[in-house]
Structure 1
C-alpha cells in the first residue's frame, strides 16, 4: 500500500515551499514596518516633559522646631 513520491510531487512541493517562504517574509516585513510607524507616531505625539527635580530628604524623622 506504499505510494511513491513522484518528481512532479517534489517539484510542486518546492514551488509551494518557496511561495510560503516568500509570503512569510513579506508579511513579516510589512508588520515590522507598521509597528515601527506606529511607534514613531506615538513618540512624536508625546508632549515634551520637563525633567523632574528631586530633592534628597533625610531617611529618619525630621526634628520639629517650636
Structure 2
C-alpha cells in the first residue's frame, strides 16, 4: 500500500534500516526482493545519493 502511494523507499529508521532491510530482517523474502528491485530501478534522488555512498565505500576497500 505504501509503495503504491509513492512512499520513500530510501527512508531509514533509527537503526539506519530501509523498508527493504526490515522486510529482509523479518524473513519477508518476496517483499524484500520486490522493494530491492524497485530501489535499484528508482529514479529517486535518494537512490543516487545511496549509489554515491556505495561507490565511496568500494573505493575505500
Normalised by the length of structure 1, the TM-score is 0.29
Q: Which has the larger radius of gyration?
A: 1
| RCO comparison, higher one (Cα < 8 Å, 6+) | 2
Normalised by the length of structure 2, the TM-score is 0.31
